Homo-oligomer: A and B are copies of this chain.
Amino acid sequence: MTANLQQSMLEAIETELKRQVSRLDQPHTKPFHEMLMYHMGWTGEGAGAQAAGKRIRPLLTLLSVASVFDGNKEKKSNNMNWLHAVSIAASIELVHNFSLVHDDIQDNSELRRGRKTAWVKWGAPMAINVGDALFVIANQAALDLKEHYPADMVVRAASILNGCCLELTQGQYMDMSYEERTDLVIDDYWPMIGGKTSALLSACTQIGALIGYAQDEKIELYRLFGYHLGLAFQVQDDILGIWGDEALTGKSAASDLVEGKNSLPVLFGLEKNAEFAKGWRQGPILPNEVGAVAKLLETEGSKAYAEMKSEEETQKALGYLQQANPQGEAGAAILGLANMLLKRKQ
């Protein structure tokens, strides 16, 4: 049953994403439209489900909508269902993809999900514009809610979305500015990933609850669930980026160390200011050093600390979810999705 609901949602999301992006399918801008289609994973070499990604954010949004509906039979019978919310779910996925396209330019990343990034294919100037268009269409998709919801709710959803986008740019600023710093401590970590990872996940659950006609108190519980889910997810990602199993993560273990990523384990080590910190400040870690450095970090207590934090945030997220009390099939699916994200080995 749950698998069917999720499958129906994923199909509706994909259809809506294509419809939204087709705004660029006009006589003078067909190749531009094609660039967005490629990035979204629908066309070009390597197109397909793998290239498109898992659409976790729009799925979490629709499950949030439906898990309130399920508990509100009166509203549901009033012909409102998750399908009406698909434009805001698409909007959030488009925001995510706008940030990916610009991130790839900023990080000089040549591959995304195994395929050439937009800037590699068409150059940075075009790719900047591809990202901009994805963000514009994200806003248009959010405003499309007006077809099915009262205008004041649309304004509120769009405000939450853009508030989250500002946090994204702030997280991105911190991430980039940290690259030149060697004086970072753990307190520098949380606002960065709060912006880069948690803001958008919390927008999914917060907007979903809003659109599901939840009361303000419940909307806040959904928001907190999404926010801490994001923190737990990111810390776990940081752990896997250093100590993960190559066969499962699909990237070389400890590549985060070679790339100099300011992850939680690294900032713990820098704050501790012992052997690891000395080495880190002397310059980039070479590929043949990563095993020893990862071991050193673990010895200094970094892995245990990060695992503790990941568990703390996981418990917070699950606690808020329990309080939010999501209903029915969608409610069960949210818990399943959270467990999949938080206990994943890849």
Residues of A whose CB lies within 8 Å of any CB of B are: 23-24, 26, 28-29, 31-32, 102, 105-107, 124-126, 128-129, 131-133, 135-137, 139-140, 143, 146, 150-152, 154-155, 158-159, 162-163, 165-166, 168-170, 172-174, 176-177, 188, 191-192
Contact = CB atoms under 8 A, between A and B. Distances in A.
A24 B165 CA distance: 12
Contact of A173 (B32, B136, B170, B192): B32
Contacts of A105: 124-125, 128
Given A26-B170, A28-B174, A135-B135, A163 B151 contact: no
A interface, over-half SS: helix
Contact of A143 (B23, B128, B129, B159): B159
A129 B126 CA distance: 16
Given A129-B106, A151-B155, A170-B28, A163 B176 contact: no
Given A26-B170, A28-B188, A133-B170, 18 more contacts: A28-B170, A28-B191, A29-B174, A32-B173, A32-B177, A102-B128, A102-B132, A106-B124, A106-B128, A106-B129, A125-B176, A128-B131, A132-B165, A132-B169, A132-B172, A136-B168, A139-B162, A151-B152
Contacts of A23: 166
A102 B24 CA distance: 20
A28 B176 CA distance: 13
Q: How many copies does the complex hold?
A: 2
A162 B135 CA distance: 10
B129 A29 contact: no
Q: Which 6 residue pairs of A and B lie closest in terms of their CB atoms, listed nearest first?
A: A151-B151, A106-B125, A151-B152, A32-B173, A133-B169, A136-B165
B31 A177 contact: yes
Contacts of A174: 28-29
Given A166-B24, A166-B136, A174-B28, A129 B102 contact: yes
A200 B94 CA distance: 23
Contacts of A106: 124-125, 128-129
Contacts of A192: 28
6 contacts: A126-B173, A128-B128, A137-B166, A146-B155, A151-B151, A151-B154
Contacts of A176: 125-126, 129
